[in-house]
């Protein structure tokens, strides 16, 4: 699936209400100005004119301006969970049912709790703090020096990692992008941000997080201007959060809608003589479908259709509520024998039907986008820079002072006076596919290695420095055993200190296995999560071996010794039965532990399990997720759980290493040259599921949804081979 958008915005009604008009002055969407002097009673004056304003809106001319959309975090409820742990399946089932059985009829009683939103509040520094910041800037390192009045430029394109990056690493890092927005908001040397947005290759959870920080930056009163030469739904979602949007005359704009795709290789495998023997537990568990089937199953079609409808509907709602026109109205008021002339600008969003009709027209001309108010104007990059010069009173023959993303990332928070307090909250990041041990050829930053993650969790558990822990997850799953071992360690950690799971783009299957061990789960609105199911299998290569003249014979001892070793023949009936029972047992363990962790009856968990993937919003309504939000909300909840006042600053400590370092890159290159045979062996093992049961979301589906590289590497090889024919 491609082109799926993560949205997190309530509808903004164009009707002006009395109870909300009184807060107009504090919102950037509404501008109330006087040509003579401040009004004596703003609230009373504005309220008294509401009815008259509404009667004039329909006949007032639009003004081309782009307001800051009003987005409010939803106050969602969550349950409190027992942090005790037990790995025995039957005891888990009994205890989960006891927790939830509030009456004889088995009705479920849940403890409700209101969580803080973690919404960013920009606070002006006092005189003494401003003096300290200036002093620190004077003694800052040379690479932290920035000219006063500079514009921060950031180019958002390609892959965006959820991990921290070292200076030797290429690409963008989500933590550093978000940190740059906060630093720029408080940095007196930064006048505003000039954002270049090009096609992104990341998930929608990260896009939502970046958008949230764009809105946070706007609270500082500084400008943020966007330039987009190539734009689809994802890029436009970010752009519409900025003050102004500019595109070149030849821009590639493709707002045509969203699609979902699924590819199938069974026909190809049949032609080459490969027969997949796969056990997948859960009717929605689509992992393995691309190998077993030639067409989409009804269950998979149902799930993907629901995801697409959910995402497309949210996209239309968000765009319709954040893009539209300004309506202008003015009036005069008598004050001290003079007239004070007021002007009131009221933002009126477009209707959802209007946006949908516009999408269905297949508009490709940027002139139409300007006419509809979807962009500010049509300008080249140099013209936008000239406009910024004029805005900042820079002479035309002078160079606009700018600082790029890479250099500004090296500016320390300490220099700008935005360091935290004494209380520390640890953040442990887990990104990529899950494996139990590290491959000899893999880089330290490639995926989640169970044994290394467990070691880090144990260190945090034993440390007295951290008041709470946030486990940041961005994973489609992987090895089921590794997932279970990490689940156990997170449960033990949760017994000693609050643990909050924060989901990024995806935390499905094995990724959800990790998250459900935390006391509270926070997800983005359209994070892909759930997928509680397992898959395992092997390939029967008998026909392929016959075609190429290859033969293999095995001598074994033990009835089931050849269960996974004999790929030259199909499974015997007794072997197939053992294979199926083993997969079913792994699924029951996963499901029952999910029910125990979420304080939910097993029967109720079965209804939302079955390998089905949910969006964060749907998962929250079904008890799989507690709250909707990003890392900032997870920090606020961690403070609440650790009995830290919300207005007290905390220090967030990142425990994940930046990756990769230059020596690690060079080491990886050397290992790759020397170990081709081992690489081929690992690919074959991955192809034949030799590592055991997998708690993994469908690789093909994940690649289509998030445009990432978590898919099975052998499928990429097959794709490259077919494209070369």
Q: Which positions are catalytic?
A: 509
Q: Which two tokens stand for residue 289?
A: 């479908």
DSSP states of 668-690: HHHHHHH-HHHHHHHHHHHHTTT
Contact 520, 78 (CB under 8 A): yes
The C-alpha atoms of residue 65 and residue 376 are separated, in whole angstroms, by: 7
Inter-helix orientation angle 480-496/573-597, to 10°: 20
The C-alpha atoms of residue 119 and residue 72 are separated, in whole angstroms, by: 9
Q: Which two tokens stand for residue 284?
A: 């929605």
Strands 434-435 and 172-173, how do they pair? unpaired
Q: What SS3 class is residue 630? A: coil
Cα–Cα separations (whole angstroms), residue 145 to 60, 137, 142, 209, 701: 48, 7, 5, 28, 45
Residue 203 contacts by C-beta under 8 Å, 6 or more apart in sequence? 6, 474, 504, 505, 506, 528, 705, 706, 707, 708
Residue 607 contacts by C-beta under 8 Å, 6 or more apart in sequence? none
Q: What SS3 class is residue 226? A: strand
Q: How far is the first Cα of the chain from the last one, in angstroms, to the nearest whole number?
A: 25
Q: What residue spans of 219-297 are helical by DSSP H?
A: 233-239, 266-272, 289-292
The C-alpha atoms of residue 187 and residue 431 are separated, in whole angstroms, by: 31
3-state secondary structure 136-204: HHHCCCHHHCCCCCEEEEEEEEECEECCCCCCCCCCEEHHHHHHHHHHHHHCCCEEEEEEEEEEECCCH
Contact 610, 285 (CB under 8 A): yes
424 DSSP assignment: E
Q: Which two tokens stand for residue 432?
A: 């990529």
Output phi, psi for 343, to 5 deg. Answer: -130, 135
570 DSSP assignment: P
Output phi, psi for 64, to 5 deg. Answer: -85, 100
Contact 156, 172 (CB under 8 A): yes
Convert 454-492 to b/e letters by CB count within 10 Å (16 or more is b): bebbeebbeeeebbbbbbbbbbbbbbbbbbbbbbbbbbb
Contact 115, 640 (CB under 8 A): yes
Q: Which two tokens stand for residue 56?
A: 């004039």
Q: Which two tokens stand for residue 138?
A: 């004077």
């Amino acid at each position: 699936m491609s082109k799926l958008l993560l949205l997190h915005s309530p509808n903004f009604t164009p009707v002006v209400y009395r109870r909300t008009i009184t807060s107009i002055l504090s919102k950037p969407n509404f501008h109330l100005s006087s040509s003579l002097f401040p009004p004596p009673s703003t609230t009373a004056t504005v309220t008294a004119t509401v009815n008259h304003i509404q009667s004039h809106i329909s006949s007032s001319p639009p003004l081309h301006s782009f307001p800051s959309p009003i987005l409010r975090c939803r106050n969602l409820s969550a349950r409190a969970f027992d942090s005790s742990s037990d790995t025995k399946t039957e005891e888990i089932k009994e205890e989960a049912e006891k927790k939830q059985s509030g009456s004889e009829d088995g009705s479920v009683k849940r403890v409700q709790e209101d969580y803080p939103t973690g919404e960013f509040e920009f606070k002006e520094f006092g005189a003494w703090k401003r003096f300290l910041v200036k002093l620190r800037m004077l003694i800052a390192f040379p690479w932290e020096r920035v000219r006063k009045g500079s514009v921060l430029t950031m180019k958002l394109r390609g892959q965006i990692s959820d991990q921290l990056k070292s200076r030797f690493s290429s690409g963008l890092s989500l933590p550093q992008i978000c940190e740059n927005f906060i630093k720029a908001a408080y940095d007196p040397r930064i006048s505003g941000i000039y954002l270049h947005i090009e096609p992104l290759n990341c998930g929608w959870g990260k896009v939502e997080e970046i958008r949230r920080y764009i809105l946070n930056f706007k609270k500082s009163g500084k400008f943020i201007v966007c330039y987009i030469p190539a734009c689809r739904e994802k890029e436009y979602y970010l752009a519409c959060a900025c003050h102004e949007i500019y595109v070149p005359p030849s821009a590639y704009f493709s707002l045509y809608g969203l699609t979902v795709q699924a590819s199938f290789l069974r026909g190809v495998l049949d032609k080459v003589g490969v027969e997949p023997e796969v056990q997948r537990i859960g009717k929605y568990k689509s992992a393995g479908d691309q190998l077993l089937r030639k067409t989409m199953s009804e269950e998979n079609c149902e799930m993907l259709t629901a995801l697409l409808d959910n995402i497309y509907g949210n996209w239309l709602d968000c765009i319709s509520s954040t893009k539209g026109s300004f309506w202008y109205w003015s009036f005069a008021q008598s004050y001290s024998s003079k007239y004070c002339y007021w002007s009131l600008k009221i933002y009126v969003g477009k209707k959802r039907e209007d946006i949908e009709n516009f999408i269905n027209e297949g508009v490709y001309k940027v002139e139409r986008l300007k006419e509809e108010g979807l962009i500010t104007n049509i300008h080249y990059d140099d013209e936008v820079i000239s406009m910024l010069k004029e805005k900042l009173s820079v002479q035309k023959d002078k160079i606009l002072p700018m600082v790029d993303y890479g250099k500004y990332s090296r500016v320390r928070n300490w220099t700008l006076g935005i360091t935290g307090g004494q209380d520390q909250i640890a953040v442990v990041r887990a990104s990529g596919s899950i494996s139990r041990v590290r491959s000899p050829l893999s880089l330290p930053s490639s995926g989640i290695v169970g044994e290394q993650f467990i070691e880090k969790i144990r260190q945090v558990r034993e440390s007295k420095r951290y008041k709470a822990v946030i486990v940041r997850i961005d994973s489609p799953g992987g090895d089921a055993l590794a997932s279970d071992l990490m689940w156990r360690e997170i449960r033990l950690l949760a017994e000693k200190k609050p643990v909050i799971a924060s989901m990024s783009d995806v935390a499905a299957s094995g990724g959800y296995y990790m998250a459900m061990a935390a006391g509270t789960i926070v997800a983005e609105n359209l994070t892909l999560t759930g997928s509680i199911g397992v898959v395992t299998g092997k390939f029967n290569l008998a026909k392929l071996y016959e075609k190429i003249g290859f033969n293999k014979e095995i001598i074994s001892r033990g009835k089931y010794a050849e269960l996974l070793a004999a790929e030259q023949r199909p499974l015997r009936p007794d072997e197939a039965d053992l294979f199926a029972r083993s997969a079913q047992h792994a699924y029951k363990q996963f499901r029952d532990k999910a029910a125990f962790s979420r304080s939910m009856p097993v029967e109720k968990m079965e209804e939302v399990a079955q390998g089905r993937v949910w969006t964060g919003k749907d998962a929250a309504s079904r008890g799989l997720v507690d709250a909707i939000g990003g890392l900032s909300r997870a920090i606020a909840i961690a403070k609440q759980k650790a009995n830290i006042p919300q207005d007290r600053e905390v220090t967030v400590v990142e425990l994940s290493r930046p990756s990769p370092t230059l020596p690690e890159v060079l080491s990886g290159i050397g290992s790759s040259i020397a170990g081709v045979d081992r690489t081929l062996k690992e690919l074959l093992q991955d192809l034949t599921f030799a590592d055991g049961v997998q708690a993994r979301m469908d690789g093909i589906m994940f690649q289509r949804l998030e445009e990432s590289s978590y898919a099975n590497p052998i499928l990429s090889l097959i794709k490259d081979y077919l494209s070369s024919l």
